[in-house]
Amino acid sequence: MCKTKVGNWLEDMCLQEEKLSEFARNRDEGSSLMYNVMGKRNLYHTKVPLAPRAGSTIRFGDVIMLGHPSTGGVLGVDLTEPCLDANRDQKLVTAAMPGVEPEHCARYSYILEPTDSATQIGDDLHFGEPVFLRCHDLLVLDEALGATRPPFYLASQLKNDRNGSRVSNQQTVFATDKQSMANAWTFEKISANTGVVRQLSGGEAVPCGTGLNGPTVVVQHKTTRTALAASTKNWDSTDFGRELEVTCHNHLGQNKVNALVSEMAGKTTGQTNVRLEKSPNFWCVIGDVEGAEQPPPVELPGMLNADQMVALLQERVASIEGAGERLVALADAAPGSNIDREDVAYELADIGLGFDSDATKTLLDAFDEGDGMIPINHFLDAALAQVAE
């Protein structure tokens, strides 16, 4: 048998050796994709305590989960994966399928936050009252910076030709760190066989159960008046496995029932027919039983702020060889006493300080006086404080 090698055999051997060495290096540093996914799963599945409201009603400030009885799913988020490449600020929201009663973990947990200053933490949440559903703070923990990032909220927006859910092209549901009324939701009572039930339920507190067999409600997006939905017809692939796509879509039945339209405003109307939601729009609020054993609360550092970023800047400039000299060269090249913040951000990234866009923005906001310019001497004095020592 001929054993003569033909083609780019040496190049192929070197490429294979480089792939093996890169894999070993990433494995040792813990930076491979496999280790990143495993680390994310461990963090997201950290057990957290829920509000002990089972058999009672929920209040602002409570930590709850939202289950989907008809599919056995539970609402979950992934703050590292964008919904669409066109808008990477919108993070993925799906309905996980644990197969059993869902665990009380950070990925499935939401904090009920008031939408106005008049509502206090501890007040009952009523049907029809707007509320923010904030993702658990553990999911925005940044161990490298020693702080928590800005919180993320469950949100939605009207569908258009460039913005739809990535499987069914319906109105998308996502998590965002931008605060607006697009993040506001209301809990509505299921109208059952008559349309007047929902109107007459205004002012009633929202009930809470312990699992997927608890009281069911409709979770409605306030600004678009569209209900949160999940269906076994639409599946999505995530780092956590195969999960249900979650959208805002009114799954309405064919039959109509009589409903009240303006009576709550003091007006009378004639007979009005409406169509009622179906099971894809039904969710249950999951809490814990009072007195039940719960995992200890997770101690989290404070919110990322400018003082932390300045201290971290000083530490990393002092530890990276040549970083101080490059900042001095940037200051010398500046045409005046101020320099554009985008130029500073580019230089910090090129030096390799390890700050992402959010961390860099927090840092530069401490020096920016509102005109988009950074006083270079002030910035240089702060950055080189530990170098000078």
Q: What are the start and end residues of each CATH 1.10.238.10 domain in the chain? A: 306-388
For 35, phi and psi rounded to 5 degrees? -70, -35
Q: How confident is the model over 342-378, as pLDDT tens digits?
A: 988 898 888 888 888 888 888 898 888 888 888 888 8
- Indicate the pTM of the whole model: 0.80
Q: Please give the Cα distance from 60 to 149 (Å, whole number).
A: 22
Distance of CA 10 to the CA centre of its chain: 48
Q: Please give the Cα distance from 332 to 79 (Å, whole number).
A: 40
Non-local (6+) Cβ contacts of 73 within 8 A are 67, 95, 96, 97, 230, 243, 244
For helices 306-319 and 323-333, the axis angle rounded to 10 degrees is 110
**What are the structure tokens assigned to 187, written together?**
């809990």
Residue range 42-286 forms a domain whose CATH class is mainly beta
The closest of 307, 280, 296 to 367, measured between CA atoms, is 307
Is 306-388 CATH 3.40.190.10? Answer: no
**What is the average pLDDT score of the chain?**
84
Q: How confident is the model over 236-264, as pLDDT tens digits?
A: 999 898 999 999 999 887 666 555 555 55
**Residue 270 — pLDDT band, cuts 50, 70, 90?**
very low
Q: How confident is the model over 284-337, as pLDDT tens digits?
A: 999 987 767 778 888 888 888 888 888 888 888 888 888 888 888 888 887 778
3-state secondary structure 123-189: CECECCCCEEEEECHHHHEECCCCEECCCCEEEECCCECCECCCCCCCEEEEEECCCCHHHEEEEEE
Q: How confident is the model over 197-218, as pLDDT tens digits?
A: 676 777 889 999 888 888 899 9
Q: What are the start and end residues of each CATH 2.80.10.50 domain in the chain? A: 42-286
